[in-house]
């Protein structure tokens, strides 16, 4: 019997990241999750079934020392890193492009784009470069066309989509790289976009509902699986049909 595969999921103490981790645990994958704070991560590990199924390492996703610690932990505990999910993201401002400070722009790019590249470099050096693997980046429909108010966030997600395509070419054929681009998903991260008027927001979606974390998790699990072995460089839009009607949220 072959050894279980292993994955790193960044930003996975709650929401979409935790749902992705759960979907992979359900498929027999051993999971390493990251997040900023130890207490929520400990709760997440318990939710995932305990240390037999998951390990957690707290830290900032864009911190190189944290990245190295996570990769070292996974290689020590699991002996392999078959999958990577770059899920962590930030959107600290709601403003026009000209009204967003340069420091804020740099922070969003560092966390949403640069860290995804650095995590990919790390797992490629540690395992995937020799053994192969699959990577999924979590982008957003906000990166598909201008999104006033969250434009800097959308700009980083557009860059992440491009990075996905670039890495798919550069790392082929041993490593597949894909992305998912959700619309509004009911998480704490997106609460400001729907909490005050969820029914009104959902009414604009052909599916007549907002997304839930499991909607994203299922797509990510597919893209990482052998069923998607001929899929690379793609961004799957998960939006309940919203972009078909010209909207983003």
Residues with catalytic roles: 153
Cα atoms in the 13 Å half-sphere on the side-chain side of 48? 33
What does each C-alpha distance from 168 to 59, 67, 117 come to in angstroms? 27, 21, 12
Q: What is the 3-state secondary structure (H, E, C) of 11-34?
A: CCCCHHHHHHHHHHHHCCCEEEEE
DSSP state of 5: P
What is the rounded CA–CA span in Å between residue 211 and residue 131?
A: 35
Which residues make Cβ contacts (< 8 Å) with residue 36, sequence separation at least 6? Answer: 13, 58, 59, 60
Per the CB < 8 A criterion, the answer to whether 44 and 21 are in contact is yes
Which residues make Cβ contacts (< 8 Å) with residue 131, sequence separation at least 6? Answer: 80, 82, 174
């Amino acid at each position: 019997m072959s050894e279980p595969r292993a994955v790193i999921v960044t930003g996975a103490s709650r929401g979409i990241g935790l749902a992705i981790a759960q979907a992979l645990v359900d498929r027999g994958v051993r999971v390493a999750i990251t997040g900023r704070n130890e207490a929520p991560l400990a709760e997440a590990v318990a939710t995932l079934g305990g240390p037999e199924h998951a390990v957690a390492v707290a830290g900032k996703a864009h911190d190189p020392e944290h990245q190295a610690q996570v990769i070292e932990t996974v290689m020590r505990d699991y002996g392999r890193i078959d999958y990577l999910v770059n899920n962590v993201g930030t959107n600290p401002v709601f403003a026009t492009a000209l009204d967003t400070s340069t420091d804020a722009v740099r922070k969003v790019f560092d966390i949403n784009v640069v860290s995804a590249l650095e995590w990919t470099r790390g797992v490629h050096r540690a395992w995937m470069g020799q053994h192969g693997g699959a990577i999924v980046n979590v982008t957003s429909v906000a990166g598909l066309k201008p999104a006033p108010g969250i434009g800097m966030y959308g700009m980083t997600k557009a860059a992440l989509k491009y990075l996905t395509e670039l890495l798919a070419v550069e790392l082929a054929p041993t490593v597949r790289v894909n992305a998912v681009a959700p619309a509004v998903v009911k998480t704490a991260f997106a609460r400001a976009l729907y909490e005050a008027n969820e029914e009104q927001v959902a009414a604009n979606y052909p599916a007549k509902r907002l997304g839930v974390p499991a909607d994203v998790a299922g797509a990510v699990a597919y893209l990482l699986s052998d069923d998607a072995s001929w899929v690379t460089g793609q961004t799957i839009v998960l939006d309940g049909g919203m972009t078909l009607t010209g909207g983003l949220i």
